[in-house]
A and B are shown apart, each in its own frame.
Chain A
Amino acid sequence: MAITSIKNLKEFSTVNERFEGAHLLCPGCAHSMIVRELMNATDDNLVISSATGCLEVCTAVYPYTSWDTSWIHIGFENAASAVSGAEAMYKARKRKGTLKDPDAPVKFVAFGGDGATYDIGFQWLSGAVERGHDFTYICLDNENYANTGGQRSSATPVGAHTTTAQAGRVSYGKKQKKKDMVAIMAAHGAPYVAQLAPNKWKIMAKGFQKALETEGPCFINTVSACTTEWKFDPKDTIHITDLATDTLMFPIYEIIDGHELNILYRPKNIIPVEEYLAAQGRYKHLFKPENKHVIERIQKEIDEKWEYLQRREESRV
């Protein structure tokens, strides 16, 4: 049964699973929480495409599969194309009357990491959204190419250490700002775009349901804390995600029809970003005296973004 009727996490843990627990994702990886929650957000049949990445390599190693639903993986860049092909075929066959069960309700979903979404699959996603296919694209944003051992992506934040944007004697890690994918997808005019996090699971479930129920292409960026590359203890995934949302490093909000912005979570006490950074190995070099300016820059950019989001929300435009 879909998650709508579930009141607490204990019940959540007993719902019918279409994503099997026996997968190869790291202990403490947030991917499986997000994927399971998406699949539990609806009772409809699902056709899912996955981009090459952690989720894909950990869930479909022949002769096993974790997917008790229709699932396809083609390549790193084309999950949005794969799902749009499936959706087009559904429309054609529905019209022609060749579906085995024409009344079975179905939702089309694509999963991609930030590598697949922000970088290599950007064009394919943009094309699929512009064409207006009825699908929901979920980005599992762990801010690096974790599947290949932690290289930079355009979702990697300023100051983070990755193997291709390293912190060293003369470097503080990544120099460039994170790409604002949520704004880019909203600018496509997608009917529903959001940024959600698995620690705020009720908000996330609602957002997923909204996306699945909205006709047309929807995009959701989810923060997926990466124990391996962010370097924290696997038991701390939700704690780290709490810090991400409560420092406003990851503000939780939605944009409807490309313009109507709603903030979905306001931390009671906004925590200084230092606390979030200090909890992860990928930022430890920022606490050297010569890198203090980077932490200041990160805090400043968070404050500015929060101010911007609040003004956008207030203005109702």
Chain B
Amino acid sequence: MADKMELNEVEVWDGNYAAAQALRQAQIDVVAAYPITPSTPIVETYGAFVANGYIDGEYVMVESEHGAMSTCVGAAASGGRVATATSSQGFMLMVEVLYQASGMRLPIILNVVNRAIASPLNVRGDHGDMYAGRDSGWVQLDAFNAQEAYDLNLCAFKIAEDVNVRLPAMVHQDGFLTSHTAQNVSPLSDDEAYEFIGDYKAIDEMLDFSKAVTYGAQTEEDWHYEHKAKQHRALMDSYVVIDRVFAEFKEKTGREYKRVESYMMEDAEVAIVALGSTVETAIQAAEELRENEGLKAGVVAPRCFRPFPFEDIQEVLKDVKAVAVLDRSCPMGAMGALFNEVSASMYTTTSRPIITNFIYGLGGRDFSLEDAKHIFREQKGHADVGYITTQIQQFSGLRGPKLGFFESKRSK
């Protein structure tokens, strides 16, 4: 039996260490992984737990990220708890198998420490990898700090493994900004954490020889569509379980999570919608603007990137006049993906606030308090005149000439 670890009520952990501790407490059966910056410390820390008797499961260090996720799929089909971690190029190498994992309805947990995608090669954080996973059929939860990276890992197992979900789940955190920044984290004890997640429930497993199972069958035009539609439905409906797990987590810890987090939105006139560690920057900017300039600013942050909280976005933004949606991934020839999704949510309502798009922070470019304040003030400008006074898509924090695209065709 694995040794238990005595933890303090408050620990000083970075996001990677927090995630590794949550993985240890989950008593995973198989971790198959390949290290890559900035998620490497998750795999290393877990390896240290293995080497010191804190893990009963198998720790399989494979030859590539594609091999890591493939090994996870084989392991998950064999009826046990499975997890891994990756970033950036490693994530891109996994992409093929991400679809196969979700298509086979295997509840694998993947920690994605978000990092930019080459070329040019870059080890810093942006959301290029997270966005590349958005059609892969995984639940995607986004942590904005180390505490959340820990908490959401515990929740992710419980969500993914629920009999009504049985889909894989990613827990995202920002490379370096979250993964390498030590913060106060309040962990659960080993027993409390495991009790919260619960035992793994094996379904249609390859190691139950009383019933033969075939995983990864072929379907063509006769059945493929129905399979994919059913899978989509499972992901769409997973919000019920996500909400329930978040509620149970609150009951246990007092820490509350929602599929869409909102800050100071009760009376907000303008808002920023963002993901990741930027959320905390935007909150501080909003607080200062409220205090110093009387600007009614608020922040909206999808905790759940998939399933996309379409209706919750509608609800939280319904009384806002102008919204800036921030995408930390280069959309390459289109509007940002988060902008498109928030816009789609709001277009199907009667309120239809002004919505503009900012691309920012690519390759780890700092997004400062001033950048956030500038965006809020610009939204206030739109709100006051009732139309978009800038280009619809702008690049924030880019050196050289200002870059932006598209003018509003709405009445001025």
Q: Which of B63, B72, B212 contacts A85 (CB 8 A)?
A: B72
Question: What's the minimum C-beta distance from B231 to chain A, rounded to whole angstroms?
Answer: 14
Query: Within 8 Å CB of B66, what residues of A?
Result: 77-78, 81, 124
- Residue B192 CB within 8 A of the other chain: no
Task: Check B29–A96 contact: CB distance below 8 A.
Answer: yes
Tell me, in angstroms, the Cα distance from A126 to B63 when the chains sit together.
9
Q: Which of B63, B79, B227 contacts A89 (CB 8 A)?
A: B79
* Contact mask for chain B residues 202-230; partner A; CB cutoff 8 A; 1 contact, 0 none: 10001111101111111110010001000
Q: Which of A56, A65, A77, A127 contacts B62 (CB 8 A)?
A: A127
**Contact-residue size bin, chain B (C-beta under 8 Å from the other chain):** 35 or more
Query: Within 8 Å CB of A83, what residues of B?
Result: 74
Task: Check A72–B74 contact: CB distance below 8 A.
Answer: yes
Tell me, in angstroms, the Cα distance from A81 to B61 when the chains sit together.
11
Question: What's the minimum C-beta distance from B253 to chain A, rounded to whole angstroms?
Answer: 27
Task: Check A74–B212 contact: CB distance below 8 A.
Answer: no
Query: Within 8 Å CB of B63, what residues of A?
Result: 123-124, 126-127, 130
Tell me, in angstroms, the Cα distance from A95 to B50 when the chains sit together.
14
Chain A residue at smallest Cβ distance from B66: A78
Task: Check B218–A106 contact: CB distance below 8 A.
Answer: no
Question: What's the minimum C-beta distance from A96 to chain B, rounded to whole angstroms?
Answer: 6
- Residue B146 CB within 8 A of the other chain: no
Q: Which of B27-73 contact A (CB under 8 A)?
A: 29-30, 32, 56-58, 60-64, 66-67, 70-73
Chain B residue at smallest Cβ distance from A64: B217
Tell me, in angstroms, the Cα distance from A61 to B220 when the chains sit together.
9
Task: Check B30–A82 contact: CB distance below 8 A.
Answer: no
Task: Check B212–A69 contact: CB distance below 8 A.
Answer: yes
Query: Within 8 Å CB of B97, what residues of A?
Result: 74-75, 78
Chain A residue at smallest Cβ distance from B64: A123
Task: Check A98–B80 contact: CB distance below 8 A.
Answer: yes
Task: Check A92–B74 contact: CB distance below 8 A.
Answer: no
Chain B residues in the interface with A (C-beta under 8 A): 29-30, 32, 56-58, 60-64, 66-67, 70-80, 82, 96-97, 100, 200, 202, 206-210, 212-220, 223, 227
Give 5 closest A-B pairs by Cβ, nearest first.
Answer: A85-B74, A127-B63, A81-B70, A85-B75, A78-B70
Beyond known contacts A56-B218, A85-B71, A101-B209: 13 more, CB 8 A cutoff: A62-B227, A65-B212, A72-B215, A74-B73, A74-B97, A81-B66, A85-B75, A85-B77, A93-B29, A98-B80, A127-B62, A127-B67, A130-B63
